[in-house]
Amino acid sequence: MAEFKRIGLVGRPGSDRSLYTLQRLIQYLQSRGIDIILDDDIAKSLGEAQLPSADGETLGKTCDLVIVVGGDGSLLGAARSLAKYNVPLLGVNRGRLGFLTDITPEDIEDKVAEVLAGKYLMESRFLLDTSVVRQGKVIGGGDALNDVVIHPGRFIRMIEFELYIDGQFVYSQRSDGLIVSTPTGSTAYALSGGGPIMHPKLDAIVIVPMNPHTLSSRPIVVDGNSEIRINVGEHNRAYPHVTCDGQNHVVTNPGDEIHIHKKPHKLHLIHPLNHNFYETCRTKLGWGSRLGE
């Protein structure tokens, strides 16, 4: 097990709950003699001048572990910027669902103590790399831990496109768009769109149509190493948007190509020893407990 001597702290600067939890975390880590580096935005929000602060690149290069305090969105943002540095992330939940940030604020000291003692589970999650190509040139793109979504933007209007997987034509479609999701994102927007729940260990990608104009269109699960290409229809009246994890936005033109594939760097996510994916699903999604309970 890795030994964590220098820990970076990331969170939601505008959240009082996150900042309070970060202050508790700082006090605890200092009592353990751990070197702490704050994210620049967090340092400003806390008014903390005694501890060193740094940008995401420096955190990724110098820290043994980064603890993210916030919701799943905070961890998604940290994952996109830090995965390439192979620094593991640990999430403390100060959001709503908390599929990725699975330590509760009440358990911070106990659970972080276990992690520092080497008692934890390490899990690898892959991200998606997206690029939009116009007349042979890349005009934009982004990374996604959850999903890449092609949608009509502000206007409620069907879009037309063609789907290719590993160079093979799959179908043309008229719909509100398409969700291309990792196993991590299968419990997010893809689930709302009727996609399957995939275990995080699966090396697979799910493609979920959004309100397709045919009853025969269903989600497709493909190999995680697949090369996915979406050709935006030449006769679209809408200009489809490409969104990665709800953040990076690229507006396409008719005739553009959207290329999606797995990134080479994986996110290393740390969980407490008692982490159980199915228990998380039961708790967060309201699944039934054991009979008689």
Specify whether the CB–CB gap between 76 and 100 falls below 8 A: yes
* Catalytic residue from among 16, 55, 64, 72: 72
**Burial of 228 by CB count in 10 Å (0-12 exposed, 13-18 middle, 19+ buried)?**
buried
CB atoms within 10 A of CB 269: 24
**Burial of 222 by CB count in 10 Å (0-12 exposed, 13-18 middle, 19+ buried)?**
middle
Q: How many helices (H) and strands (E) does the chain have?
A: 7, 17
Reply yes or no on whether 176 is catalytic.
Answer: no
Which neighbouring-strand residues pair with 203?
none
Ramachandran angles phi, psi of 154, nearest 5°: -75, -20
Q: Which residue in 130, 77, 166, 100 sits closest to 240, CA to CA?
A: 130
Nearest-angstrom CA–CA distance, 196 and 193? 9
Tracing tokens 């291309």 back to the chain, one arrives at 180
Q: Which residues are catalytic?
A: 72
